[in-house]
Amino acid sequence: MSDNNDIGLKIGDACFANPVFLASGPAGYGIEYANYLDITKVGGIVTKTISFEPRKGNPGVRLQETPSGLLNSIGLENVGAEYFFREKIPVLVSAGVKPVISVAAEDWGDYRKLIDFIARQENIEIIELNLSCPNVERGGMAVGSNPSLLGRYVRHAKDLLPRIAILAKLTPNVSDIARLALAAEEAGADGITAINTVIGMDIDISRAKPVFKRVRAGLSGPAIRPVALDAVWRIARTVDIPVIGVGGISSVDDALKFFMAGASGIQVGTALFYDPGLPARIIEKLEAGGIPPAIKYSVDKTERKDDDGTAPHNSST
């Protein structure tokens, strides 16, 4: 393989053999897909978001299909940090997988406990801060849509975990996602993951009631791909740290589009449910042809940072 085709990725000090990851949530705790995909060959697996304490998640219906999409209201059900590091991580590590630990908190107090806890763990190279989940009452999007709060959370993690790379995962449910990305970068994030699910809802007409007990849910899958692609494009023009694109990738070509929009890596989420072989096919394509170059624009960095990102420069519409 020539150097041109080196598809390795570095985020902070964390190195990955390739830039294809499994997304937090759909990938579970990482080993569930072992019969369907050689999990040691993906760049890394972003594990199901954990909180300090275990969470039961949301009651009622949790999944509803839409045209080319999936609404979910799982509500960050998870086993909690202690159990996760004791029971789940060793299995992943001994299976030869690089885990990216996804973390979330309900409030600042919880967050500090969680980050403290992670600081005491060994051999963790990278975490992804999920401050963007739409399916929880507290924490989640409330933090992730406020640049100064987001910055505070990122900076705290960075201060306590100086050797661990930090990815900030952003919500698209804001008016200017690039501004949040910039806030995360300025607070010391080593990379940006974009995007989490898009808020949606559905109604069960036979009962004249919303499908979900919490009414609103998170939309994922091919239906949100244009939203994710636009977010990645805007963020990549705004920050200098790597951007990991996620949202609706369901074919090799979709993945290539994210790299062309400026992503340094990608995550496969919902597509795992119906096509678990997809990450392997994307990796094979990248190994054969290298990472496609990002689309170039004739604007410089300062201009980009001032730009509100609402319209491409060469667009007449």
Partner 1 sequence: MSLEKKRPFTVRIVENRKLSPSTYLIILERPNDFPDPYPGQFISVRVNDQTVPLLRRPFGIMDINSETMTILVKAVGPGSTILASKAAGEQVEMAGPLGGMPFSRPGGKDVVFVGGGTGLGPIIFCARSWKREATVGKMHLFIGAQTKEELLEGLYEKDFDQVYTATIDGSSGHKGNIVELLEEEIEKGGIPAAILYSCGPRPMIRALIDRVGPKFENHYTSLESVMACSLGACRGCTVPVIEDGEKTLRSVCMEGTVFRAEDIDWEEWE
Q: Judged by CB under 6 A, does residue 255 bind ligand FMN?
A: no
CA dist., res. 54 & res. 13, Å (int): 30
Q: Looking at 9, 11, 14, 23, which residue binds ligand FMN (CB under 6 A)?
A: 23
Adjacent-strand bridge partners of 46: 100
Q: Which of 199, 208, 186 is nearest to 305 (CA)?
A: 186
Adjacent-strand bridge partners of 194: 170, 245
Residue 179 interacting partner from partner 1, ligand FMN, none (CB closer than 5 to 8 Å by kind)? none
Q: Judged by CB under 6 A, does residue 144 bind ligand FMN?
A: no
Residue pair 122/152 in contact (Cβ under 8 Å)? The answer is no
Active site residue 15: no
Instruction: For the beta carbon of residue 302, count every other beta carbon within 10 angstroms.
Output: 8
CA dist., res. 94 & res. 79, Å (int): 20
Q: Looking at 70, 136, 177, 180, which residue binds ligand FMN (CB under 6 A)?
A: 70
Q: Judged by CB under 6 A, does residue 76 bind ligand FMN?
A: yes
Residue 144 interacting partner from ligand FMN, partner 1, none (CB closer than 5 to 8 Å by kind)? none
Closest distance between ligand FMN and the C-beta of residue 297, in Å? 25
310: buried, middle or exposed (CB in 10 Å: 19+, 13-18, 0-12)? exposed
Provide the residue count of the chain. 317
Kindly tell me which of 165 and 268 has the beta carbon lying closer to ligand FMN: 268
CA dist., res. 280 & res. 293, Å (int): 21
Contact residues toward partner 1 (CB under 8 A) are 25-29, 32-33, 35-38, 41, 48, 56-57, 59, 61-70, 72, 74, 77, 221-222, 250, 270, 272-277, 280-281, 283-284
Q: Looking at 191, 247, 279, 309, which residue binds ligand FMN (CB under 6 A)?
A: 247
The catalytic position among 126, 133, 178, 256 is: 133
Q: 118 phi and psi, to 5 degrees?
A: -65, -35
Kindly tell me which of 14 and 198 has the beta carbon lying closer to ligand FMN: 198
**Block residue for tokens 């908190």:** 105
Torsion of CA 134, 135, 138, 140, to 10 degrees: -40
Tokens (6 digits) for 36: 């369907």
Residue pair 171/17 in contact (Cβ under 8 Å)? The answer is no
Q: Judged by CB under 6 A, does residue 130 bind ligand FMN?
A: yes
Q: Looking at 18, 196, 238, 264, which residue binds ligand FMN (CB under 6 A)?
A: 196
Residue 37 interacting partner from ligand FMN, partner 1, none (CB closer than 5 to 8 Å by kind)? partner 1
Residues assigned a catalytic role: 133
Footprint of ligand FMN on this chain (CB under 6 A)? 23-26, 48-49, 70, 72, 74, 76, 102, 130, 133, 169, 196-197, 220-221, 224, 246-249, 268-271
